Structures are given as C-alpha cells and as structure tokens.
C-alpha cells in the first residue's frame, strides 16, 4: 500500500557538471522500518542521499515524501519537513562546542530536557565534552555527536551516510545499539553502509545500488541468508566484509 511508503524515488537522474551519476533510481523507504542502501564505492549512494536532501538537483524523475513531491524544494525546506541528514563527513562544526552543535538542531525553544537526557544517556561521552569544541572529539565521538544531532528532536526520517566508516568495533557496537533503540521508537531510517555486520544487525529492508541504479530490493533477512546473491550483487561474500 502506498501510504506505507514514506519516501519514494521514481526514475531519478542526477548530473554533476557533465557527469551522469544517477541513471534512474527507483527507491521506496517504508514507514517505521530501517532501509539499508548498499553498494560498492562509486555506485551512487552518497549522490542519492544528497539528491534527496536537495544538495544536488535531480535532472529528471520524482522524489516524494509522504506523498508530496519534494524534488524542487530547497534544502532547508526539505529538512523542515522533518528529515534529518547525517552526511558522510559527519558535518559537525569543529569550532562550535558540543552543546552548540546540538543546539543548532533544536527549534527556537531550545532543548527538550527529557529528550536531551535520553540522548546523553545513549552517548555519555558527549556529556563529558559538553563545552568542548567539537573539533577536539575523537572520530567515534564525532559520529555520536552527528547522530545525536539528528535525533535530538523528533524526526520523521533519518538519512545517514556510512556512520561506521573508520570507527573501532566497540564504537560500532555502540552505534548499532543506538540504531536498534531508534528502531524501537518506529523512526524511519535510510542508512548507507559498507559494514555488513552493521547492516545485518539493524536492517529491515535492503536496496543495492550499482552504476547509478538500484539493482536489487528485498528484505535484509533474505539477502543475509543468500550468500550466492551477496556474491552476485556486491562482488564478494558480505560475511567477509566486516
């Protein structure tokens, strides 16, 4: 049923300069579920996310959020629909303190105390570094900050780009727990990942990209169980791709 789908891309093409990156992407992100977007480097995953957020303009196709077209909106207006974006480079502001980084993600009334407490309980390191410039945080802490910023206020959709890149296994586990906790609140999430352990732990649905198109969609469970399919789609057994 279509009102099951929160975010929908239909035939989306994106050009960057003279380069044709997305060749007709069809993607459906179902409400309340975590959709994984997998694929090799250069497949177009980041471009897809940026196109959804309006940071790059689609050259053709439709993007619909909760049924309404958003392809022509400016980035701030897309964000105001309740979409939070955590980019690949985390996008935290190094010169601003942890507190200020989070404050930016709140509305005019500032922090919701209860929600802030919940987030800090999830990532205690942030409480420690509350008044330190964000640039002084470790890689893992920065990622926690980036994700906290996305959830400090209630959002309808979280779009996250490779959160575990370059992080230690312990931190990755922390992130997995955080995502599982988020899922329990029925938040809709679109997650790009290369780490299959992460993907398998949290993913409900999966879409695989190659060369600017979606080449497979289905349930995560089904993909995880099918090694041959994994080989075919991603060129190697994902179990080895930790």
Does residue 94 belong to the site contacting other proteins (CB under 8 A)? yes
Q: State how far the Cα of 219 lies from the Cα of 203, in Å rounded to an integer.
A: 8
Candidate list 20, 67, 72, 104; residue touching other proteins; CB under 8 A: 104
In order of 32, 95, 162, the CA distances from 136 in angstroms are 35, 9, 21
Q: Is 79 one of the binding residues for other proteins (CB under 8 A)?
A: yes
Q: Which stretch binds other proteins (CB under 8 A): 28-36, 94-102, 180-188, 224-232?
A: 94-102
Q: Does 76 bind other proteins (CB under 8 A)?
A: yes
**Interface with other proteins, residue 60, by CB under 8 A:** no
Residues contacting other proteins: total by CB under 8 A: 24
Contact between 53 and other proteins by CB under 8 A: the answer reads yes
Phi, psi of 165 (to 5 degrees): -60, 125
Q: Does 74 bind other proteins (CB under 8 A)?
A: yes
* 111 binds other proteins, rule: CB under 8 A: no
Task: Select from 10, 16, 55, 120 the one that contacts other proteins (CB under 8 A).
Answer: 55
- Does residue 136 sit in helix, strand or coil? helix
How deeply is 107 buried, as exposed, middle or buried, from its count of CB atoms within 10 A (0-12, 13-18, 19+)? Answer: exposed
Say whether residue 10 binds other proteins (CB under 8 A): no
For other proteins, the closer of residues 95 and 228 by Cβ is 95
| Residue 100 engages other proteins in binding (rule: CB under 8 A) | yes
- Please give the C-alpha separations between residue 153 and each of 64, 80, 112, in angstroms, as whole numbers: 22, 12, 8
Residue 127: DSSP 8-state: H
């Amino acid at each position: 049923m279509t009102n099951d789908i929160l975010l929908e891309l239909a035939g989306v093409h994106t050009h960057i300069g003279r380069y044709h990156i997305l060749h007709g992407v069809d993607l459906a992100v179902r409400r309340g579920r975590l959709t994984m977007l997998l694929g090799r480097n250069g497949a177009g995953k980041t471009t897809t996310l940026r196109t959804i957020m309006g940071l790059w303009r689609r050259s053709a196709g439709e993007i619909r959020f909760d049924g309404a077209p958003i392809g022509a909106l400016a980035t701030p207006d897309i964000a105001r629909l309740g979409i939070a974006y955590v980019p690949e480079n985390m996008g935290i502001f190094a010169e601003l303190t942890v507190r200020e980084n989070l404050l930016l993600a709140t509305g005019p009334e500032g922090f919701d105390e209860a929600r802030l407490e919940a987030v800090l309980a999830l990532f205690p390191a942030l409480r420690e570094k509350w008044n330190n410039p964000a640039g002084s945080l470790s890689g893992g802490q920065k990622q926690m900050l980036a994700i906290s910023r996305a959830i400090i206020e209630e959002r309808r959709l979280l779009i996250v780009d490779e959160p575990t890149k370059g992080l230690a296994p312990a931190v990755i586990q922390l992130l997995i727990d955080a995502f599982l906790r988020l899922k329990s609140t029925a938040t809709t999430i679109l997650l790009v990942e290369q780490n299959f352990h992460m993907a398998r732990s949290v993913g409900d649905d999966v879409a695989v990209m190659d060369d600017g198109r979606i080449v497979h969609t289905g349930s995560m469970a089904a993909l995880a169980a099918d090694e041959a399919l994994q080989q075919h789609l991603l060129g190697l057994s994902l179990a080895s791709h930790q």
